[in-house]
């Protein structure tokens, strides 16, 4: 056992990898070693893993139905009447609602990330590869969207589209793509004159084919890293929309909407608003720790 471990270690840290796969694994391994040394990043990873697990098994461990009301026991303080985190204004168990709400928050963040990364990647690589007027027009559009404050634009969009989770996702996605386009463009410009691009051009590949098969895969990693860094922001924007009543609609246990519902009782029954807020805080802190650690690992210049 010990022997196989050392050979695996040797294989991973080999200075002369024999295959691209080994080189890739070795890179990942070295990054992981760096990442592991950063306590905040590890804490972030732990929070994220916990969130994913809780979201996955939430229905199994939730003590109650998140929508089950018992008006007789409304606004019970934490610990009373069998409510670990208290109950809300309709006597629903806050802990169960938080567990179910984790799924909503995670899926919003994932949906935005999945929608935004390819769009930003496509716009950025096309602008960077073609240059000239195409670049000017696309980057102008990007700048226009960047000149909007994100939440305000998302607000206007969400209110135009009507409240609901899907519309909140669309609104956030439309406001979130410009930075990714910028990053993808910068990367594309740095590689577009490389020999391997010229080689595939000489082989007769069309520009779009080159972008899709050669350029985009190389830009993808920086875009993905940037998405990870942004996840806390996406989460907070979604919670903000929920708080304003533009995201998930009642009785859905979305965390931002739960804070909004608890607002009326905040002076007397603080837990109704406090608990979901703490959940938002913990998760976005996890995203931020993780992103910060990733940044340190991948860009040693900015780190500690």
Partner 1 sequence: MDETRHRIRERAEQALKLLLSLTVTFMGLLAVTFFIGRVVPIDPVLAAVGDRASAESYAQARRELGLDRPLYQQFLIYASKALRGDFGKSVLTSNAVIDDIKRVFPATFELATLAALLGVLVGVPAGVAAAAKKGSWVDHGIRFVGLLGYSVPIFWLGLMGLLVFYAKLGIVAGPGRSDVLFEGLVPTVTGALLLDSALAGQWEAFRDAFAHIILPASILGVFSMAYISRMTRSFMLEQLQAEYVNTARIKGLSERTVVWRHALGNAWVPLVTVIALSYGNLLEGSILTEVVFAWPGLGSYITNSLMSADMNAVLGGTVMVGIVFIALNFITDILYKRLDPRAR
Catalog residues that contact partner 1 under the rule CB under 8 A. Answer: 40, 140-141, 143-145, 147-153, 155-157, 159-162, 232, 236, 239-240, 243-246, 256, 259, 262-263, 266-267, 270, 273-274, 276-277, 280-281, 284-285, 287-289, 292, 302, 304
CB 127 to partner 1: min, Å = 16
* Least gap, CB of 277 to partner 1 (angstroms): 3
The least CB distance from residue 234 to partner 1, in Å, is 13
For partner 1, the closer of residues 5 and 301 by Cβ is 301
> Residue 124 or residue 286: which is nearer to partner 1 going by CB?
286
Minimum distance between the CB of residue 91 and partner 1, rounded to whole angstroms? 22
Choose between 27 and 299: whose C-beta lies nearer to partner 1.
Answer: 299
Considering the complex, what minimum distance in angstroms separates the CB of residue 238 from partner 1? 10
- In angstroms, what is the minimal distance from the CB of 178 to partner 1? 12
Which of residues 70 and 159 has its CB atom nearest to partner 1 in the complex? 159
> Judged by CB, which is closer to partner 1: 64, or 289?
289
Exposed, middle or buried, 149 (CB in 10 Å: 0-12/13-18/19+)?
A: exposed
Pick the closer one to partner 1 by CB: 160 or 202.
160
């Amino acid at each position: 056992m010990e022997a196989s471990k050392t050979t695996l270690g040797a294989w991973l840290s080999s200075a002369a990898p024999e295959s691209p796969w080994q080189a890739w694994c070795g890179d990942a391994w070295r990054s992981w070693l760096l990442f592991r040394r950063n306590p905040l990043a590890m804490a972030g990873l732990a929070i994220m893993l916990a969130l994913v697990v809780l979201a996955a098994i939430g229905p199994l461990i939730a003590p109650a139905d998140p929508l089950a009301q018992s008006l007789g026991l409304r606004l019970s303080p934490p610990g009373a009447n069998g409510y670990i985190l208290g109950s809300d204004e309709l006597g629903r168990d806050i802990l169960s609602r938080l567990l179910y709400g984790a799924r909503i928050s995670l899926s919003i963040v994932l949906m935005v990330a999945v929608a935004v990364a390819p769009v930003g990647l496509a716009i950025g690589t096309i602008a960077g590869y073609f240059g000239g007027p195409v670049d000017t027009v696309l980057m102008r559009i990007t700048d226009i969207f960047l000149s909007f404050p994100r939440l305000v634009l998302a607000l206007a969009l969400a209110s135009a589209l009507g409240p609901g989770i899907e519309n909140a996702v669309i609104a956030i996605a439309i406001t979130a793509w410009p930075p990714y386009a910028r990053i993808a463009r910068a990367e594309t410009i740095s590689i577009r004159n490389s020999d391997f691009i010229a080689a595939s051009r000489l082989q007769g590949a069309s520009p779009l084919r080159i972008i899709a098969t050669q350029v985009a895969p190389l830009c993808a990693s920086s875009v993905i890293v940037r998405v990870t860094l942004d996840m806390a922001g996406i989460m907070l924007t979604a919670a903000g929309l929920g708080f304003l009543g533009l995201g998930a609609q009642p009785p859905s246990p979305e965390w931002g909407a739960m804070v909004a519902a608890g607002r009326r009782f905040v002076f007397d029954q603080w837990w109704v608003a406090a608990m979901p807020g703490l959940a938002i805080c913990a998760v976005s802190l996890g995203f931020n720790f993780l992103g910060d650690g990733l940044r340190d690992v991948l860009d040693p210049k900015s780190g500690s």
